[in-house]
Amino acid sequence: MTPMEIQSLPLVRTARPLVERETLESTEPNLEVRIGAILSLERIAQDSARDHIQIMKILCAYVRENIGGRQIAMPAEDASPEKWREWGGSASTPLRLDLDMALKVIEDRDPTRKAHEAIATPPYVLGLERLEATKLDLFGRNLEKANLSGARMQGAHLVDATLLGAKLGGAQLQGADLGGAQLQGANLEDAKLQAADLWGAQLDIKTSLARADFRGAAVKNVDLSNVPQITGHLTSLFGDASVSLPSGARPGQEGWPEKWPTFELDPGEFRNEWQKWQADPEAYTPPIENLRP
């Protein structure tokens, strides 16, 4: 299929924005048309290495232009971590079927096509910058190496998401659930992670955290022994004895954060103590194990 034929598919048109946002309505017939067009693009990308990158650009543009626009009441940007956590802990919204399908096509690129992207001039990366994914359910999505710079993902459900090497500079992730997310090599410079849940998240020495805001966020069951760049952020985070620190300090030793419990809390206890700490970090006193109820 020629580039001209690609541009004539229902998702896109020439001489106008790639995504036919203005004229497609959210009716079932139109969803079926959209999904059919997405599957057609998938087949072309699988059959034609020449057209693969162009199709990925079209699909990324389609996701960017259609994923936002929902009216969501949320805390003010300067709200306390406690407010962000309370808001972020409520239910998230599933992706619309056509957007889910577009992301699946992007995620399912085979190693040959990914290698083709890597040797392009310049190398191609998924263009999802400034994505509006506030309060969306992105459980388990594979966005490895995607450009998510400036994305609005407050309260997003990113549990078990693959964000290896992703560009998240300046992303707004307040109140987001990043439990189990793979963040090795990700760029989180200037990202806003107030009250984010990083339970079981995976970081490494290549995860860039410069100027990231972790106020009121929490870590549990996280190995930070190879993440020395997080040292300056530890006083902004809440954790317990399930966390391995870069310094190797153990509970009660020098270097252990003053406000962290010196033993491992069970899930319910952890969330209760996290909430207490968020309410007044300076006055918070961590529980003592032998005085537990």
Instruction: Write the DSSP assignment of the chain as a string of letters.
Output: --HHHHHTSTT--TTS-SS-TTT--SSHHHHHHHHHHHHHHHHHHHH-HHHHHHHHHHHHHHHHHHS---------TT--HHHHHHHHTSPPBPPPHHHHHHHHHHHT--HHHHHHHHTSSSPP--B-TT-B-TTBB-TT-B-TT-B-TT-B-TT-B-TT-B-TT-B-TT-B-TT-B-TT-B-TT-B-TT-B-TT-B-TT-B--TT-B-TT-B-TTEE--S-B-TT-GGGGGGGGGEE--TTPBPTT---TTSTTS-TTS-SSPPPHHHHHHHHHHHHH-TTT-----GGG--
Contact assessment for residue 113 and residue 54, using Cβ atoms and an 8 Å cutoff: no
Question: Residue 82 falls within a domain, yes or no?
Answer: no
**Number of structural domains found in the chain:** 2
Co-location of 195 and 116 in the same domain = no
Co-location of 134 and 40 in the same domain = no
- Write out pLDDT tens, residues 213-270: 999 999 999 999 999 999 999 999 999 999 999 999 999 899 999 999 999 999 999 9
Q: What is the mean pLDDT of the chain?
A: 91
Q: What are the C-alpha distances in Å from 36 to residues 43, 81, 95, 134?
A: 11, 43, 17, 27
Helices 111-118 and 49-66: angle between axes, nearest 10 degrees:
90
Co-location of 146 and 63 in the same domain = no
Question: Residue 12 falls within a domain, yes or no?
Answer: no
Co-location of 153 and 274 in the same domain = yes
Co-location of 99 and 224 in the same domain = no
Please count the residues of the chain.
293
Q: Is the pLDDT of residue 27 over 90?
A: no
Co-location of 215 and 103 in the same domain = no
Q: What are phi and psi of 7, to 5 degrees?
A: -65, -20
Co-location of 249 and 104 in the same domain = no
Among candidates 195, 178, 81, 78, which has minimal Cα distance to 133? Answer: 178
Co-location of 103 and 242 in the same domain = no
Co-location of 173 and 272 in the same domain = yes
Question: Residue 182 falls within a domain, yes or no?
Answer: yes
Question: Residue 7 falls within a domain, yes or no?
Answer: no
CATH of the domain at 187: 2.160.20.80
Q: Is the pLDDT of residue 290 over 90?
A: no
* Residue 101, both tokens: 């399908």
Co-location of 236 and 284 in the same domain = yes
- Write out pLDDT tens, residues 168-222: 999 999 999 999 999 999 999 999 999 999 999 999 999 999 999 999 999 999 9
d(CA 56, CA 54): 5
Co-location of 59 and 42 in the same domain = yes
Q: Is the pLDDT of residue 1 over 70?
A: no
Question: Residue 194 falls within a domain, yes or no?
Answer: yes
Q: What are the C-alpha distances in Å from 153 to residues 44, 116, 177?
A: 31, 29, 10
Q: Is the pLDDT of residue 24 over 50?
A: no
Placement of tokens 């969330």 in the chain: 271
Question: Residue 1 falls within a domain, yes or no?
Answer: no
Question: Residue 23 falls within a domain, yes or no?
Answer: no
Co-location of 55 and 138 in the same domain = no
Q: Which domain holds residue 61?
A: 31-69+94-122
